[in-house]
Amino acid sequence: MGRYVSIWFRHLHTDWFSIKNPRLKELPFVLRTPVHGRMVITSLNAKAASQGIFQGMVLADARAIVPDLEVQDDPPELTNKLLTRLAEWCIRFSPVVSVDPPDGIIIDASGCSHLWGGDNSYLKTITERLHAIGFTSRVSVADTVGLAWGLARYGHSLISLPGQTRESLLPLPPEALRLETETTERLYKLGLRKVSQFIQFPRTSLRRRFGDHILHQIDKACGQAMELLVSVQQPEPYQTRLPCMEPIVTAPGIEYALNLLLEQLCLKLRDEQKGLRAAVLKGYRVDGKVEEISIATNKATHHVSHLFKLFEIHIAHIEPALGIELFVLEATVVEDHLPQQEMMWAGVGGFEDIRLTELADNLSNKIGSNALQRYLPDEHYWPERSFRTSLSLLEKLTTQWPLDKIRPTQILSRPELIEVTAPIPDYPPMLFRYKGKIHQIVKADGPERIEQEWWIQQGQHRDYYRVEDDQGKRYWLFRLGHYHDKSFKWFLHGFFA
Amino acid sequence: MESASKAQILSRLQSDILRFQGFKPADHLDHSAWLGAINQSFPNATFPTGAVHEFIAPGMEEMAATSGFVSAVASHLMKSHGVAMWISQRQWMFPPSFKSFGLDPDRILFVKTSKEKESLWVMEEALKCGALTVVVSELCDLTFTASRRLQLAVEQSRVTGFVLRHRYKKLSTNACVSRWQVSSLPTDSIDDLPGIGFPKWKVELLRIRNGYPNTWNVQWNNGEFNISSRQTEPISIETEAQIKFG
């Protein structure tokens, strides 16, 4: 039997505002949202509640009761954001925590509370820690999610002892079963104010009068129907752990541990036809710190020696200090990996070759993932934009490389200003001076005008010339702007083979 | 009779030695055809693959010419499915230009390193990887030890390496199989039309193990080499000696 904790935040939104602005804690304070053209109170703090204001009240009515009411807008989407963050914070109490909108969190506390010394002190710790942050909460624990939910909101006692689900459920009001408002109202109309008054009714008559929903909710509260929790953080399925009898301080020790862990992990991955794309090795040190090294691969793999090689470079970055007592290897990104593919391409060469992928992994692991680039053609005439980096080793060409344009092999990332003597507009220059040296131009081709792509960048066009000097050296020059504008400039942009 | 058999034995021994040193005999004809007259300088009249070639290119202009020649050679070695790696500290290669030398730019992996030592490490790793056909690395200096490491890496994988040496400080002896220098030559006009013709280079083979250094005029004519010997210059043992001793 499981144990579940339900946390109810009575003033979730207003508490959050008060944390940011402590002044609001002392004032009657509400949050408003427009509903059908009226301002309606959606959240209020304890002080406002004590003066007779309730949720769903129209703001004008509330102002009539409390003239000095502090009002602010209720931001939409705040509930989800707050609950998710609080749920992530609650992972310290149990690994499985899920959000329970609109105002709660459910924790799967099975086997957890004894670590805090029993249910009592477990709940007390949670309440106190939340209070220290600034959230008012009611926290309950029970054998089922439904009962814990009801106890947190409507129960006198917050703890339902194991095996006493039905007993704890009986004194609760019908709302504690999470029923629709309509059903609850009908129950009250019939004078059924406690669960104990109708729970023993025959199921058929309950169904006839109130529908299927009520039976389902009773089953959930009693533990006869399953209720699934969706944890905010999924537990890592591909993980191997190695606790050490003696703290490890040496590099060979770490290597040995890494090898053992990799073998276990890769065996598991291979059995499930998976491969890892990213992995992290964590070393928990005696002094409580955690040392981490991580790797990434370009393609899913479960090749032990390759992965070991990737990790090996980083082992020097681990600082064992007094020693590492627990190693955890975790595959953070896992993809399908079918062994037939690997066999087909082994030893062929080319981009599909597994050896090339491993080389790419090695390089990006050592010198950074941006160091390795492959370029594909891009449909732009502007030279700097005529190619783009490819997303992966295997990306296919969508357009062909242009063959009609003659382009230099070497290009300057920033064109260099040169001095030029040119006879008339549109004629290639006669000579140019680059880095203090004068080049007499013997042959030339051009101009090839390349216009700016105005939807990307503003500026003047370039008139390109291919020129050859008296030494037989070939250059790519361009004139920026029109000849008759007088503001034109000449640049050297590249070197031809 | 006896002398003939002696000559046979000698030539067989010679080819054995070449084989032990890693030079493959010319197994298919198309392999040797493309380099034309240049092939006569190589042992077995075959361009040595699975070896590291050194190119010296002092300035940007020479670098451009050398890149052109090297990519044309690489395109022949890679055929249709090979992959090349180009290692450099600067990003000055213009990928679309490779297409005009028959090399698909998308079959090249460019690696940008931050220092010389890193380039050497990357080149050694790449030369060990049999999935690549050609590895080109731009380096300034290459010590004997470093070149020996590259040569050892290549012997297993049969990858061909090209070291382009730019702004070098000194040219010392190293374990590369050859040393080349490529520089631009004025182009020939096509059909007496104005403008620039096909790329044309002076290709000097300054040093080649078990071969004969020589110099050629090479023109790249839309996908093939047009090679003519230069008669003017005396052949090059001198050149090599100059480089070795001062």
Higher pLDDT, A235 or A59: A59
Q: Would you call B134 helix, strand, or coil by DSSP?
A: strand
| pLDDT for residue B239 | 47
Instruction: For chain A, give the mean pLDDT.
Output: 87
Q: Which chain B residues contact residue A347 at CB under 8 A? A: 130
**pLDDT range class, residue A229, cuts 50, 70, 90:** confident
Q: Tell me: pLDDT of A207 over 70.
A: yes
Q: What is the pLDDT of residues A7-19, one digit of tens each?
A: 999 888 899 999 9
Tell me what pLDDT residue B24 has. Answer: 62
Contact A227, A144 (CB under 8 A): yes
Interchain pair A413, B104: CB under 8 A: no
> How far from the centroid of its chain's Cα atoms is residue A305's Cα?
30
Residues 6+ apart with CB under 8 A from A116: A93, A122, A125
pLDDT at B22: 65
Residue B230: pLDDT above 80? no
- Residue A48 confidence class, pLDDT cut points 50, 70, 90: confident
The ipTM value here is 0.84
| pLDDT tens digits along A353-371 | 788 888 888 888 888 878 8
Of A363, A386, A445, the CB nearest to B122: A363
Q: Is the confidence at residue B245, as pLDDT, over 70?
A: no
Rounded distance, CA A322 to CA B12, Å? 66
Quote the pLDDT of residue B123: 94
Our CA-based measurement puts residue B69 at a distance from the nearest CA of chain A, in whole angstroms, of 8
Tens of pLDDT along A89-127? Answer: 888 888 888 998 888 999 998 888 888 888 899 999 999
Among B19-23, B34-38, B229-233, which stretch is predicted with the lowest mean pLDDT? B229-233
Q: For position A237, what pLDDT does the model report?
A: 76
- Please tell me the least confidently modeled range out of A304-313, B146-155, B188-197, B234-243: B234-243
- In this predicted model, what pLDDT tens digit does every residue of A421-434 receive, in sequence order? 887 777 888 899 99
Domains and CATH numbers, chain B: 26-38+47-245 (3.40.50.300)
Q: What is residue A347's predicted lDDT score, i.e. its pLDDT?
A: 54
Confidence of residue B122 (pLDDT cuts 50, 70, 90): very high
Decide if pLDDT at A200 tops 80.
Answer: yes
What is residue B53's predicted lDDT score, i.e. its pLDDT? 94
Q: What's the rounded mean pLDDT across residues A45-63? A: 88
Helix axes A304-312, A251-271, angle to 10 degrees: 140
pLDDT band for position B236 (cuts 50, 70, 90)? very low
- Model pLDDT, residue B27: 52
Minimal C-alpha gap between A253 and chain B (Å): 27
Which residues from chain A sit within 8 angstroms of residue B71, using beta carbons?
409
Q: Is the pLDDT score of B155 beyond 80?
A: yes
A23-42 mean pLDDT: 88
User: Would the pLDDT of B105 be above 60?
Assistant: yes
Residue in chain B lying closest to A358 (CA): B129
Which of B106, B127, B201 to mutate against chain A (most A CBs within 10 Å)?
B106
In the predicted model, what is the mean pLDDT of residues B166-187? 89
Q: Is the pLDDT of residue B241 over 70?
A: no
The answer to whether B225 faces chain A, any CB pair under 8 Å, is no
Tokens of residue A397, six digits: 């060409």
CATH 2.40.280.10 corresponds to the domain A239-340 = no
Tell which of A345, A367, A400, A409 to mutate to test the B interface (max B CBs under 10 Å). Answer: A409
Token pair listed for A301:
């793999």
- The 8 Å CB, 24+ separation contacts for B11-16 are B15/B44
Closest CA to B101 of B240, B222, B242: B222
Residue with tokens 């005529």: A386
Suggest the residue from B113, B129, B225 to mutate for an interface test with chain A (most A CBs closer than 10 A). Answer: B129
Q: How much is the average pLDDT of B58-84?
A: 89
Nearest to A299 by CA among A308, A307, A289: A307
The predicted structure's pLDDT at residue B32: 58
- Spell out a b/e string for A370-402, using b for 16 or more CB atoms within 10 Å of the CB, else e: ebbebbbbeeeeebeebbeebeebeeeeeeebe
User: Cβ separation of A356 and B121 shorter than 8 Å?
Assistant: no
Cα A337 to the center of its chain, rounded Å: 24
Residue B147: which pLDDT band, with cuts at 50, 70 and 90?
A: very high
pLDDT at B237 over 50: no
Q: Using the beta-carbon criterion (under 8 Å), do A407 and B100 form an inter-chain contact?
A: yes
So what's the pLDDT on residue B234? Answer: 45
Sorting pLDDT into bands at 50, 70 and 90, what band is B240? very low
Residue A170 has pLDDT above 80, yes or no: yes
User: Residues B36, A464: contact at Cβ < 8 Å?
Assistant: no
As a dihedral over the C-alpha atoms of residue B178, residue B183, residue B189, residue B194, rounded to 10 degrees, the angle is 150
Q: Please report, for chain A, the start and end positions of each structural domain, with discontinuous segments joined by +.
A: 1-233, 239-340, 373-403, 410-495
What's the average model confidence in pLDDT over A435-452? 89
pLDDT value, residue A274:
87
In A, which residues are within 8 Å of B183 by CB distance? 472
Collect all residues with Cβ–Cβ distance below 8 Å to A307 and sequence separation of at least 6. Answer: A262, A266, A276, A279, A295, A297, A301
Helix (H) or strand (E) run with residue B19 in it: helix B2-20
Tokens matching residue A75: 């931001």
